[in-house]
Amino acid sequence: MHKHNSPFRVLIGKPGLDGHDRGAKFIARALRDDGFEVIYTGIRRTPEEIAAAAIQEDVSAIGLSSLSGAHLRLFPAVVEALRAAGVTDIAVLGGGVIPEEDIRQLKEAGIDEVFTPGTPLEVILEAFRSACRQQRKTHQP
Amino acid sequence: MRNDLNALLAGLHNHEARSIARAISLVENDHEAAEVILASLDQHHITSSQVLGITGSPGVGKSTLTSTLVRHFRGQGKRVGIVAVDPSSSITGGALLGDRVRMMGHALDPDVVVRSMATRGRLGGLCAAAGAAVRIMAASGCSPVIIETVGVGQSEMDIIRLADLTLMVLAPGMGDEIQAMKAGILEVADLLVVNKTDCLGAETLTMDLEAALRGKKNPWQSRVYKTVATTGQGIDELAIAIDELDAIYRSSGEHDRRRHSSLELETVDWAVELLKPRLLKELQEKIYAAEPRQAARKLLARLCPSITDT
Ligand code: B12
Ligand SMILES: Nc1nc2c(ncn2[C@@H]2O[C@H](COP(=O)(O)OP(=O)(O)OP(=O)(O)O)[C@@H](O)[C@H]2O)c(=O)[nH]1
Ligand SMILES: [Mg+2]
């Protein structure tokens, strides 16, 4: 059996050319302080690079951050890259400056949750916990 | 359940990224499948692989140097593994693993296998599953496998026993040379690297180190390798030195001796790890003596009488 206290592993990534990294780092630190093992991949990565890193690191969830307006293209591209590698069980969450009307579209494209500025931190942490618990349940050889 | 494990073992056999990653997690989480997974590994690959340690103070450029070395090895057509270890917070158990930021240039290369690992409460600079992760990568055809850890004092030098040879990286402006000499690290590292030689103070640091090393009997131990990890300067020379020293160790028997004692120590670690819950349980039920050392001896005499004649 799994030792159920093993920490959850997540990856925080910033796809595209957006250099606003405060939010991503803030979320990464908050997750660490909540007991997660957080792999941070830095700014300016392609969706394919983020997906490949997530697979190698065997994370349960990916958190994407975007403030520059390119989320409708970049977030679904990460989901696509995962699918292309045959991976459908890593949760993808997103956040940043994202208009309300885009959120439905992102969810339809396979992004599990989207969080905009002002969301209470506990809500974000619980979303990661729950996504990781779910993934671990379905993933026991 | 069995089917999943068989699929994993098959994937591992085919060097698939996801299976390698899952296998490392299962071992790291002490899953019951761990032993089967590790026993299935290709021993021939493990024996022939080269395991390099890279250690040094925070921020000296270990990850950047690793990434630059990886580019060099990829140029030679080698498949490379990287195990990057960072400390877990002792309070929350969480960790921020950031070494990958410097290695993302290789993210789309299937022959560069990177795994970030947290120490998970283990002292010595490595995590308990580091050795297993190295073997999983080696068995999947990675050679070299590079282990990166933060290491300042001798208490963080477990990497020395796991690696076939270890590079100690220093950089100017960090008060490193005094630290290193105090901690006796110059004695245990196999190769000394001064990185950031494009920065002020590199020349002085190099000369100080060379002075401290004068009189060492092995020629490689009296040399300091100078690099600029960000540009690749000095990397070719360093890579040649690594291969030459590796060849010396292999022909002198040093390589085999290190591998053997590394496995021995890891076995002892595991024996202690497996024994711990039994010992604690026994202690909860009965007090053996007020003095811990004496209590320990009595406890062992009761639990494993055959090994405690002394
Ligand atoms: C600080 C800032 C900067 C700093 C960035 C510093 C840095 N290293 O991050 C600087 C000055 C460099 C900068 C530059 C620019 N900026 Co600016 N910047 C801001 C500003 C004022 C605050 C952003 C911030 O740091 N917030 C604090 C962090 C903690 O909040 P956050 O990132 O939103 O994160 C929270 C949530 O969104 C969510 N979240 C975020 N990411 C994630 C990820 C996950 C997984 C989850 C679950 C949640 C989550 O949780 C966080 C906590 O609640 C915003 C305005 C605003 N109100 O957002 C503009 C803003 C983002 N910038 C903007 C622009 C246009 C620019 C520039 C292009 C300006 C220019 N013409 O030069 C440049 C481009 C920089 C670049 N290279 O990409 C626009 C973007 C417009 C758009 N979306 O179309 C904004 C919205 C301002 C505006 N109203 O016009 N900027
Ligand atoms: N000028 C200069 N900067 C360098 C060189 N090598 C690395 N750096 C920079 O030094 C900083 C730290 O580099 P890393 O590779 O992350 O260092 P590290 O030793 O892995 O750091 P930790 O893993 O946090 O201990 C980065 O900003 C690098 O770009 C170098 O040769 N010259
Ligand atoms: Mg590093």
Note the pLDDT tens digit of each residue in B164-184.
999 999 999 877 666 666 666
Q: Which residues of B116-151 are buried (b: 16+ CB within 10 A; e: fewer)?
A: bbbbbebebbbbbbbbbbbbbbbbbbbbbbbbbbbb
Residues with CB under 5 A from ligand 3 (ion): B 62-63, 99
**Range(s) for CATH 3.40.50.300 in chain B?**
41-262
B26: closest CA of chain A, how far (Å): 8
How far is the centre of ligand 1, averaged over its atoms, from the C-alpha of A31 (Å)?
20
Q: What is the pLDDT along chain A (141 residues), one digit of tens a residue?
A: 344 579 999 999 999 999 999 999 999 999 999 999 999 999 999 999 999 999 999 999 999 999 999 999 999 999 999 999 999 999 999 999 999 999 999 999 999 999 999 999 999 999 999 999 998 887 765
Q: Is A68 in the pocket of ligand 1 (CB under 6 A)?
A: yes
Look at the alpha carbons of B201, B204, B206, B208 in this order and tell me if their dihedral is positive or negative.
Answer: negative
How far is the centre of ligand 3, averaged over its atoms, from the C-alpha of A4 (Å)?
29
State the Cα–Cα distance between residues A93 and A113, nearest whole angstrom. Answer: 5
B96-136, pLDDT tens digit by residue? 999 999 999 999 999 999 999 999 988 888 888 999 999 99
CB contact under 8 A, B25 and A48: no
How far is the centre of ligand 1, averaged over its atoms, from the C-alpha of A97 (Å)?
7
Closest residue of A to B5, CA-based?
A141
What is residue B141's predicted lDDT score, i.e. its pLDDT?
97
Give contacts of B18 with chain A, Cβ < 8 Å: 55, 58, 85-87
Please write down the HEC assignment for all residues of chain B.
CHHHHHHHHHHHHCCCHHHHHHHHHHHHCCCCCHHHHHHCCCHHHHHHCCEEEEEECCCCCHHHHHHHHHHHHHHCCCCEEEEEEECCCCCCCCEEECHHHHHHHHCCCCCEEEEEEECCCCCCCCCCCHHHHHHHHHHCCCCCEEEEEECCCHHHCHHHHHCCEEEEEECCCCCHHHHHHHHCHHHHCCEEEECCCCCCCHHHHHHHHHHHHCCCCCHHHHCEEECECCCCECHHHHHHHHHHHHHHHHHHCHHHHHHHHHHHHHHHHHHHHHHHHHHHHHHHHCCCCCCHHHHHHHHHHHHCHHHCCC
Q: Model's pTM, two decimal places?
A: 0.94
Chain B residues 97-126 within an 8 A CB cutoff of chain A: 97-98, 100-101, 104, 107-108, 113-116, 118, 120
Our separate counts of H helices and E strands in chain A read 5, 5
B167 and B54 Cβ atoms separated by less than 8 Å: yes
Residue whose pair of structure tokens reads 């250690």 in the numeric block: B55
Q: Which CATH number fits domain B41-262: 3.40.50.12780, 3.40.50.1820, 3.90.950.20, 3.40.50.300?
A: 3.40.50.300
Q: Which CATH number fits domain A9-134: 3.40.50.2300, 3.40.50.300, 3.40.50.280, 3.90.1150.10?
A: 3.40.50.280
What is residue A2's predicted lDDT score, i.e. its pLDDT?
42
Q: Is A9 in the pocket of ligand 1 (CB under 6 A)?
A: no
Task: Please determine, for residue B310, whether its predicted confidence score (pLDDT) is greater than 60.
Answer: no
Number of neighbouring beta carbons within 10 Å of residue A25: 17
Domain residue limits, chain A: 9-134
Q: Is B246 in the pocket of ligand 2 (CB under 6 A)?
A: no
What is residue A140's predicted lDDT score, i.e. its pLDDT?
62
Closest residue of B to A6, CA-based?
B29
Give contacts of B34 with chain A, Cβ < 8 Å: none
State the Cα–Cα distance between residues B250 and B229, nearest whole angstrom. Answer: 28
Least confident of B49-58, B60-69, B188-197, B288-297: B288-297
What would the two tokens of residue B55 be?
């250690």
Give contacts of A34 with chain B, Cβ < 8 Å: 92, 94
State the Cα–Cα distance between residues B82 and B66, nearest whole angstrom. Answer: 8
Minimum CA distance residue for ligand 2 atom 1: B196
